[in-house]
């Protein structure tokens, strides 16, 4: 199964809403809802809830049900069964750190857009052969950072990336200035100590700073 134009356009529309996608890990639904409201109030309305904890799906569903004005995706999708679980919980898109053949097949067949992960040129080429024009670049820092993605503009002009891993307010603009970067992912906007202290004002302020980053060129579908 290949990536369809309709779902690619839906993914492009989602990514065009924000320069930064918060990558969030929650141990309970209540914290997920409060954090999501704080991020939304700061201008970040596309959220990725990672499937790394026993309560991740519960938190995702609670955010979908209780927080207006946000688009919520499921991250750290590693297995085909994760795809089904995320869809049932209300995920509007799926994100994976890698792109195994089984996962590509399951993700591309899902009813919502799928953003598979790559860290090499060969992986990006394999996705392009399946019709994908968007990929997560992970782990961005260790895998080559902004210079690596800049080097891919010429040979892979149709591919656009969402770099994640090692990105913060200090270097996010380096990525966003590249014409093959649709958005960046990062956890710095919801630091664990702020969540533990329930310091939602701090989360909102960090979100405001992130949402104010310089707009990048619109990524084509």
Break the chain into its structural domains and give their ranges.
5-208
Phi/psi at 33 (5° precision): -65, -45
What pLDDT does 215 receive?
60
Secondary structure (3-state) at 81: helix
Catalytic residue among 7, 37, 48, 61: 48
How much is the pLDDT for 53? 96
Q: Alpha carbon 139 to chain centroid distance? A: 13
Q: What is the pLDDT of residue 2?
A: 80
In 3-state terms, what secondary structure has residue 184? Answer: strand
Tell me the three-class secondary structure of 136-173, residue by residue. Answer: EECCCCCCCHHHHHHHHCCCCCCCEEEEECCCCCCCHH
Residue from 7, 37, 61, 136 carrying the catalytic annotation: 136
Residue with tokens 């990006």: 124
The answer to whether 67 touches 36, Cβ cutoff 8 Å, is yes
With CA atoms as reference, report the closest residue to 3 among 157, 160, 155: 160
> Mind listing the pLDDT tens digit of every residue in the chain (221 residues)?
689 999 999 999 999 999 999 999 999 999 999 999 999 999 999 999 999 999 999 999 999 999 999 999 999 999 999 999 999 999 999 999 999 999 999 999 999 999 999 999 999 999 999 999 999 999 999 999 999 999 999 999 999 999 999 999 999 999 999 999 999 999 999 999 999 999 999 999 999 999 999 765 544 44
Look up the CATH superfamily of 5-208: Aldolase class I (3.20.20.70)
9 given a catalytic annotation: no
Q: Clarify whether 136 is annotated catalytic.
A: yes
The per-residue pLDDT for 221 is 46
Rounded to an integer, what distance in angstroms lies between the CA atom of residue 194 and that of residue 208? 15
Closest CA to 137 of 187, 100, 180: 180
CA distance to 113, 121, 155, per residue, from 145 (Å): 25, 13, 17
pTM over 0.75: yes
């Amino acid at each position: 199964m290949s990536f369809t134009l309709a779902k690619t356009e839906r993914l492009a529309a989602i990514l065009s809403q924000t320069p930064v996608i918060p990558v969030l890990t929650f141990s309970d639904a209540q914290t997920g809802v409060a954090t999501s409201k704080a991020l939304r109030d700061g201008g970040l309305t596309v959220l990725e809830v990672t499937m790394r904890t026993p309560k991740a799906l519960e938190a995702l569903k609670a955010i979908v049900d209780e927080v207006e004005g946000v688009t919520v995706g499921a991250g750290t999708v590693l297995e085909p069964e994760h795809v089904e679980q995320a869809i049932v919980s209300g995920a509007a898109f799926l994100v994976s750190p890698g792109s195994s053949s089984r996962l590509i097949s399951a993700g591309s067949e899902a009813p919502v857009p799928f953003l598979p992960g790559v860290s090499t040129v060969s992986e990006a080429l394999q996705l392009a052969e399946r019709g994908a024009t968007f990929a997560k670049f992970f782990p961005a820092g260790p895998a080559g950072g902004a210079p690596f993605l800049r080097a891919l503009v010429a040979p892979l002009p149709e591919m656009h990336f969402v770099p994640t891993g090692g990105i913060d307010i200090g270097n996010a603009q380096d990525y966003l200035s590249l014409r093959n970067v649709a958005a960046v992912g990062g956890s710095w906007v919801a630091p664990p100590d702020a969540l533990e202290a329930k310091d939602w004002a701090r989360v909102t302020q960090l979100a405001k700073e992130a949402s104010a980053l310089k707009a990048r060129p619109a990524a084509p579908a």
